Amino acid sequence: MGNLKRNMSVNVVLVEPEIPQNTGNIARTCVVTGSVLHIVGKMGFSIDEKHVRRAGLDYWKDLELYTYASLEELYQKYPEGDFWYFSSKVARNFDKAVYSDRCFLVFGKETAGLPKKLLEANEARSVRIPMQAGQRCLNLSNAVCVGVYEAMRQNSYFHMK
């Protein structure tokens, strides 16, 4: 499956992220959990911006990061990928999914989430994080953290300390 450096890892996929501080926080989560960050499509900022690096601080140098022009490019690189799509607009709770030790957790941009057509095409692999009725959604970096730790829990935390 592709050329990831690790044998086991959670893969975080951000589709068109818009807020540099969120991406910086997600990068930090990826480094401390041994996860890999994949950024797809146009970003609303440059990854060289000080806001991204400040949020990721000393962790940025240790981040395993890949970028892609489109989801199709990511799918071509990892045709056997275990993809899970996170959205507040679907019914299945994230803890009901079974995540492999090389899963890809896909998150949409902050203002719009993942496209409706993508969720419809992947309905059986789309999950949500429960929250109070009438609330929009969690902050993206918090949602990523919830997803990553559930995938890690299901895989015995990849034998981390």
Q: 134: Cβ–Cβ under 8 A, 6 or more apart, which residues? A: none
Q: Phi, psi at residue 66, to the nearest 5°? A: -130, 145
d(CA 134, CA 104): 28
Q: What is the pLDDT of residues 44-76, one digit of tens each?
A: 877 775 666 665 556 778 999 999 999 999 999
Reading the chain (161 residues) residue by residue, the pLDDT tens digits are: 455 656 678 999 999 999 988 998 999 999 999 999 999 999 887 777 566 666 555 677 899 999 999 999 999 999 999 999 999 999 999 999 999 999 999 999 999 999 999 999 999 999 999 999 888 789 999 999 999 999 999 999 887 76
Entry pTM: 0.92
Is residue 113 annotated as involved in ligand binding? Answer: no
- Which pLDDT value is given to residue 59? 77
The answer to whether the Cα torsion of 109, 158, 129, 59 is positive or negative is negative
Q: Which two tokens stand for residue 133?
A: 């009725």
Residue ranges of domains in the chain = 11-155
Q: From 35, 39, 42, 40, select the one nearest 63 (Cα to Cα).
A: 35
Is residue 129 annotated as involved in ligand binding? Answer: yes
Phi and psi based region of residue 158 (left: phi greater than 0; alpha: psi -120 to 50; beta: remaining): left
Give CATH for domain 11-155: 3.40.1280.10
Cβ(158)–Cβ(149) below 8 Å: no
d(CA 3, CA 69): 17
3-state secondary structure (DSSP) of residue 8: coil
